[in-house]
Structure 1
Amino acid sequence: MRQLIVQVPRGQGKEVLEIAKSLQGVSLAQLEAKGSEEPIDLVLIHVSNRQVEELFAKLEDLPDVNITLLPRGVMTLHPPAKEAPQQALNIEERSPIEIFLSGLQSVGSWRGFLGYAASSGFVVWIGLYTNTTYLLVAAMLIAPFAGPAMNVAIATARGDRQLLWRSVLRYFVALAVTIAVAGALSLILRQDIATSLMIERSQVSSIAVLLPLAAGAAGALNLVQSERSSLVSGAATGMLVAASLAPPAGIVGMAGAIGRWDLVIDALFLLFLQLAGINLTAALLFRLFGLSARGVRYTRGKPWVFPVALGFTVAILAGLLTWQFVNSPNLQRSSLAQRANAEIQKLVNENRLVELVEANVRFTRANIKGQNTLLSVVYVQRQAGVTASSEEIRSSLTQAIQTHLLQQGFNVTPLVDVSVLEAPQKSER
C-alpha cells in the first residue's frame, strides 16, 4: 500500500477523491489549504502498489496537479475490524513508476559513489595482499557496483538511452577507481609477487556465468518487491551482485602492477561476464513486472532500445562464453581441477595396491612457458598384504595418473606427487 498527497486547485479535490475511489483507494481525506499563491485542496490517498501508475495516469488530466509519493509502504487498517489481519497481509510488488524513479535517484551523487569505490579498492587490496578472506566480504559490502548494474537493466527494460549511458559510465568509472586504488597500493608498497588468495580468486569456473545470472534475478526481485514483503535485505542482494566484481577489480589493479597479465585477463573476463549476465536476467524480470518503454510521466523511452540492448547483451555473453570454452583450460581452471580430482580419486580407488587417503588437485600460476601446470598431491596407504615397495607403488601410480589425465583430454601438464603412507605397526604383547 502506498500513500500519496495530491495538491490541486480549490474545488478539484472532490474529483481527485472520485478517481481514488474508482481505484479502490482507502483511508481517503480531503483538506482545504493555502498554497504559495492561491487556495488549494490537499487529498490524502492510500492505494495498492499495482494501482499507483494508473492513478498517476488519471490525475495527469487535472490542471496544476502536484503529487507527492511516499516511497515506503504503509499499513492501512480500516473497517470492518475483523478484516484487519487480511489488510495487514495485503503486500504487493512496487509499481513500475516507483522502480524507475528509484533508479533515477541513485544516479545523482558522484562524490559519495566514488568514495565508496575508492574505499572498496583499499579494503579489497588489504584482503588480497594479506590473504584475509573476510576482508573480501567487507569489500563486497561497500563496493558500489550493484546500483549501476541494476540501473543498466532498468534502462534496458525501459528503453532509456540516457539512463543506459549514464549507468554504464558509472559502472566502469567505479571499476576504474577500484582498479586504480589497488594498483597504486601495490606499486607504492612494492608488491613483487601474486599472493595465494589472488591466484585462488582469479581462477574461473566453467559455471561462472550462473552467478551473475542469479545476481541479476535477485537484484531485480529485490527492487520489485515491497520492502515488507522480502526477507532478504538490499545489502544482501547488493553483496551478491558485487560478489564477483570487487575481488576481480582488485586483482586487475594488483596483477597489472606486478606484470601478471594472465591474472589480469581472467579478472577482466569476470568483470564483463558479470555485467552482461546481470543485465540479461534483470532486464527480462523488469519487463515481466511491467517496466516498458512508455509509462506515466515517462516519455523518453524508445521501444527499439530494449531488443537492441538485450540482443547486444546476449551477443556479449555468447562471445565471452565461446572464448571461455574454446580456450581451455585458461578460463575453466576451477572446474577442471574438480574434474581432474574426481578422475584421480576414481583411478586410485580402482587400484588394488593402495587405499586413497586424500587427493588435492589445483592449477598453479607457475611462470613456466608453454604449459598449463596441474599440480596433484595424492596420499595413499598400501592395502593389507601388498609387498611392493613404496617407491614401486609411487612410480606406477604417478605414471598411471599422468597417463589417465592426458587420455581424458585435459589440456594440461600434470605434475603428480604420490606419497605412500604407512599405518603404525601393532605392538605385540
Structure 2
Amino acid sequence: MRQILIQVPRGCGQRVLELVEAHDGLNVACLSANGLDGRQDLIIVHISNRQVEALLKELESVPELHLTLLPRGVIVLRPPAAKLPEQIRNVEARSPIEIFIDGLQSVGSWKGFLGYAITAGIVVWIGLFTNTSYLLVAAMLLAPFAGPAMNVAIATARGDQPLLKQSLWRYLVALAVTILVAALLSLVLQQQIPTSLMVERSQISTVAVLLPLAAGTAGALNLAQSERNSLVSGAAVGMLVAASLAPPAGIVGMAAVIGRWDMVVNGLFLLLLQLVGINLSAALVFRAYGVSAQGARYQRGKRWVFPAVLAGTVVILLGLLSWQFADSPNFQHSSRAQRANAEIQQVVEQSDWVELVEANLRFTRPNIQGQNTLLGTIYVQRRAGINLSDADIRNRLTQDIQTRLLEQGFEVTPLMDVTVLSPPKDKS
C-alpha cells in the first residue's frame, strides 16, 4: 500500500474522493487546510500499489493539483480486527511510475558518483595486484555500476531517449574512471607482468552470458518489488551487477599498461557482454511489471524506442556470442579447462598402472606466438604390483593425455607435468 497526500482548491475535494473510491482507496480522510495558495482540501489516501498510476492519471483532470507520494509502503488496518492477517498479507509490486521515479532519483550528484568509481578502481586494483579475492568483493560493493545499468534498462522499457543517453553516459564514465585509476596505479608502481588473479579473472567461460542475464533480472526485480516483498537487499543485488563489471574494468586498465592486449580484449568483451545482457533481461522484466512508453505524469516515451533498442541489444548479444564460439578457445578458456580435466580423468581411469590423485589445469598467457598453452599438473598413484618405472609411467601417461586432448579437438598445446606418487611401504 502507498500513502498519497492530495492538495486541491477548496470544493474540489469531493471530486477527488469519488476518484479515490473508484480505485479502492482505504482509510481515506478529507480535511480543510490553509496552504500558501489559500484555503484547500487535503485528502489523505491509502491505495494499493497497482492502482497508484491509474489514480494519478485520473487526478490529472483536477485543477491546481498537488501530490505527495510517500515512497515507502504502509500497513493499512481497518475493521474487523479479526481480518488483520488477510489485510496485511497481500504485498504488491511497485507501480510503474514509482519504478521510473526511483530510476530518476538514482541519477544523483556527479561528485559522489565519481568518488565511488575512483574508490572502486583503487580497491579492485589492490585486489588484483595482491591476489586478494575478498578485495574484489569490496570493490563490487563500492562500484557505482548498478544504478546506470538499471536506468538504461528503465529507459529502454520506457522508450525514454534522454534518460537512455544520460544513463549510458554515466555508465561509460564510471567504467572509464575505474579503468583509468587501475591503469595509473599500475603505471606508477611499474607493474610488469599480470598477476595470477588477473589471469584467472580474465578467462571467459562459455556460460559467461548467464551472469549478466541473471544480474539484470535480479536488479529489475529488486526495483519492481515492494520493500516488504523482497528477501534480498538492494546492496546484494547491486553487488551482483557490479560483480560482472568491476573486475574486468580493473583488468583492462592494468593489462593495457603492461601491454597484454589479449587480456584487454577479453576484458572489453566481458564489459560489453555484461551491458547488453543486463539491459536485455532487465528491460523485459520492467515491461512485464507494466513499465511502458506512456503513463501517468510521463509522456515523453517513444513507443518505437523499446523494440528498436531491444532488437539492437539482441543483435549485439548474438554477435558477441558468435564471436565467442568462433574464436575457440580464446573466449572459452575457463570452460575448456574443465572439459580437459574431465578428459584427463577418463584417461587415467582407463590406465592399468595408476590411479588419479589430483589434476589441476589452467590456460597460461606466455608470449608464445600461435600457441594456446594448456598447463596441467597431474598427480597419480601407482597401482600395487606395477613394475614399470616412474619415468615410463610418466612418459606413457603424458603421451596418452596429450593424444586424447588433441583428438578431442581442444586446439591447444597441452603441456602436462605428471608426477607419480607411491604409498608408504608396509613395515609389518
TM-score (norm 2): 0.99
Q: Does 1:388 align with 2:388?
A: yes
Map of 1:41-190 to 2, 5 A cutoff? 41-190=41-190
Aligned to 2:323: 323
Aligned to 2:374: 374
Aligned to 1:204: 204
- Deviation of the 1:104 alpha carbon: 1.0
Counterparts of 1:241 and 1:317, CA distance in 2: 17
Counterparts of 1:107 and 1:224, CA distance in 2: 17
- Deviation of the 1:193 alpha carbon: 1.1
Counterparts of 1:29 and 1:308, CA distance in 2: 46
Counterparts of 2:123 and 2:391, CA distance in 1: 48
Map of 1:264-283 to 2, 5 A cutoff? 264-283=264-283
- Deviation of the 1:392 alpha carbon: 0.6
Aligned to 2:25: 25
Structure 1 residues 304-313 or 106-115, which shifts more?
106-115
Aligned to 1:223: 223
- Deviation of the 1:55 alpha carbon: 0.6
Aligned to 2:311: 311
Q: What per-residue deviation string (whole Å, max 9, x for no partner) do you get for residues 311-359 of structure 1?
A: 0000110111011000011110000000000000011111111111111
Counterparts of 1:198 and 1:9, CA distance in 2: 64
- Deviation of the 1:44 alpha carbon: 0.4
Identical pairs, percent: 67
Paired amino acid for 1:325: F
Aligned to 2:16: 16
- Deviation of the 1:189 alpha carbon: 1.1
- Deviation of the 1:219 alpha carbon: 0.6
Counterparts of 1:87 and 1:144, CA distance in 2: 38
Aligned to 1:5: 5
Counterparts of 2:90 and 2:205, CA distance in 1: 43
Counterparts of 1:243 and 1:190, CA distance in 2: 27
Counterparts of 1:361 and 1:337, CA distance in 2: 6
Map of 1:234-249 to 2, 5 A cutoff? 234-249=234-249
Stretches of structure 2 lacking an aligned partner (at least 5 in a row) = none
Aligned to 2:335: 335
Aligned to 1:39: 39
Aligned to 1:423: 423
- Deviation of the 1:361 alpha carbon: 0.8
- Deviation of the 1:386 alpha carbon: 0.9
Q: What per-residue deviation string (whole Å, max 9, x for no partner) do you get for residues 371-405 of structure 1?
A: 00000111111111111111111001001100110
Paired amino acid for 1:367: N
Structure 1 residues 149-158 or 34-43, which shifts more?
34-43
Give the SS at the match of 2:61. coil
Counterparts of 2:37 and 2:105, CA distance in 1: 29
- Deviation of the 1:108 alpha carbon: 3.2
Give the SS at the match of 2:418. strand
**What's the RMSD between the two structures over aligned residues?**
0.8
Structure 1 residues 268-277 or 360-369, which shifts more?
360-369
Counterparts of 2:238 and 2:280, CA distance in 1: 17
Stretches of structure 1 lacking an aligned partner (at least 5 in a row) = none
Give the SS at the match of 1:228. helix
Counterparts of 2:31 and 2:175, CA distance in 1: 50
- Deviation of the 1:67 alpha carbon: 0.7
- Deviation of the 1:90 alpha carbon: 2.0
Counterparts of 1:58 and 1:355, CA distance in 2: 76
Paired amino acid for 1:276: V
Counterparts of 1:7 and 1:90, CA distance in 2: 28
- Deviation of the 1:307 alpha carbon: 0.6
- Deviation of the 1:191 alpha carbon: 1.1
Q: What per-residue deviation string (whole Å, max 9, x for no partner) do you get for residues 215-252 of structure 1?
A: 11111111110001000000011111111100100001
Aligned to 1:294: 294
Counterparts of 2:37 and 2:388, CA distance in 1: 102
Counterparts of 2:86 and 2:143, CA distance in 1: 39
Give the SS at the match of 2:228. coil
Counterparts of 1:28 and 1:389, CA distance in 2: 90
- Deviation of the 1:406 alpha carbon: 0.4
TM-score (norm 1): 0.99
Counterparts of 1:203 and 1:58, CA distance in 2: 54
Paired amino acid for 2:221: L
